[in-house]
A and B are shown apart, each in its own frame.
Chain A
Amino acid sequence: MNRDRPKPEKTMHRNRFYRPGLQRGLEPPLVRMLLLSGGLHLAVAVVFLVGWHGPRIQPKPVYYVNLVNPPVRAPQAGRPDASPTQEKPTPKQAEPPKPAPKPVAPKPKPKPKPKPVAVKPPPPKPVPKVEPKPAPKPEPRPQSKPEPRQLVSPQEEKAAREAIEKLQRQREREKLKEELAAMAARDTRAAPVAQVGIPEGQGTDVGLDPGTFIKGAIQENWSFSLYQLASPAEAARVEALVMLKYDRAGKLLDYRILRDSGNEAFDQSLRKAVLKTTQLPKPLGDEVTVEARFNLKEMLEGQ
Chain B
Amino acid sequence: MTGKRLIILAALFSLLLAGSARAQIEIEISAPGQKTVPLALPLFLPSEGPVRAELAVEIDEVLRSDLELSGLFQQLDPTVFLSDAFRLGLSSPQVDFGQWRLLGAELVIKGGYRVDGDELTLDARLFDAFGRRLLTGRRYSGKVKDLRQMAHAFADEVLNSLTGVKGPFNSKIAYISDATGHKELYLMDVDGHQPVRLTDHRNIVLNPDFSPVGKELIFTSYRDNNPDLFRKELYTGREAKLSSRKGLNIGGRFAPDGREIALSLSQDGDAEIYLLAATGGINKRLTQQWGIDVDPSWSPKEDEIAFVSDRQGNPQVFIVNLLTKKVRRLTGSGRYNATPAWSPTGELVAFSRMENGQFDIYTIRPDGSGERRLTFGAGNEEHPRWSPDGRFLAYSSDLGGKKKIYVMRSDGSGARQISPPGSNCQHPAWSGRW
Contacts and interface: CB of A to CB of B under 8 A. Distances in A.
A228 B27 contact: no
A273 B162 CA distance: 16
B355 interface: no
Interface in A268-293: 268-269, 271-273, 275-276, 286-293
A292 B72 contact: no
B70 A219 contact: no
Interface in A231-282: 231, 233, 264-265, 268-269, 271-273, 275-276
A232 B163 CA distance: 14
Given A219-B32, A265-B164, A299-B31, A225 B37 contact: yes
Interface in A191-247: 209-212, 214-215, 218-231, 233
B13 to A, nearest CB: 15
B35 A230 contact: no
B37 A224 contact: yes
Contact of B31 (A230, A271, A296): A296
Contacts of A226: 35
Contact of B162 (A221, A228, A230, A286): A228
A228 B163 contact: yes
B71 A215 contact: no
Contacts of B1: 51
Contacts of B74: 223
A185 B228 CA distance: 76
Contacts, number: 126
A295 interface: yes
Interface in B67-101: 70-74
A48 interface: no
Contacts of A291: 24-27
B27 A292 contact: yes
A293 B26 CA distance: 8
A197 B255 CA distance: 58
Contacts of A139: none
Give the most central of B28, B130, B165: most A CB within 10 Å: B28
B29 interface: yes
Contacts of A265: 162-164
B27 A214 contact: yes
Nearest to A272: B130
A219 B29 contact: yes
Nearest to A223: B34
A58 B35 CA distance: 29
Contact of B34 (A65, A222, A288): A222
B6 interface: no
Contacts of B163: 227-230, 265
Contacts of B24: 289-291
A290 B26 contact: yes
A63 interface: yes
Given A231-B345, A264-B164, A288 B33 contact: no
A69 B163 CA distance: 32
Interface residues of A, number: 48
B293 to A, nearest CB: 30
Contacts of A230: 163-165, 345
Contacts of A172: none
A205 B130 CA distance: 36
B23 A288 contact: yes
A225 B72 contact: yes
B26 A223 contact: no
B29 A290 contact: no
A69 to B, nearest CB: 13
Contact of B73 (A225, A229, A273, A290): A225
A295 B30 contact: yes
A222 B32 contact: yes
Contacts of B345: 230-231
Contact of A225 (B26, B35, B347): B35
A214 B25 contact: yes
B25 A210 contact: yes
A224 B25 contact: no
A210 B23 contact: yes
B183 interface: no
A295 B31 CA distance: 7
A288 B25 CA distance: 7
Nearest to A228: B163
A298 interface: yes
A223 B34 CA distance: 4
B36 interface: yes
A97 to B, nearest CB: 43
Nearest to B391: A227
Contacts of A212: 27
A297 interface: yes
B181 interface: no
Interface in A2-57: 51
A222 B37 contact: no
Given A229-B163, A230-B165, A223 B27 contact: no
Contacts of B385: none
B38 A223 contact: yes
B333 to A, nearest CB: 20
Interface string B14-30: 00000000111111111
Given A223-B35, A294-B30, 17 more contacts: A211-B26, A228-B72, A230-B345, A265-B164, A268-B128, A268-B131, A272-B106, A272-B128, A273-B32, A275-B131, A288-B23, A289-B23, A291-B25, A292-B27, A295-B30, A298-B30, A298-B31
25 contacts: A63-B30, A65-B31, A211-B27, A212-B27, A215-B27, A218-B29, A219-B31, A219-B33, A222-B32, A223-B32, A225-B37, A228-B162, A230-B164, A265-B162, A268-B128, A269-B32, A269-B37, A275-B131, A276-B130, A289-B23, A289-B24, A292-B27, A295-B30, A296-B31, A296-B32
Interface of B: 1, 22-38, 70-74, 106, 128, 130-131, 162-165, 345, 347, 391, 409, 411
Kindly list the 8 A-B residue pairs having the minimum CB-CB distance in the complex, ordered from nearest: A223-B34, A298-B31, A211-B25, A298-B30, A224-B32, A299-B31, A222-B32, A297-B30
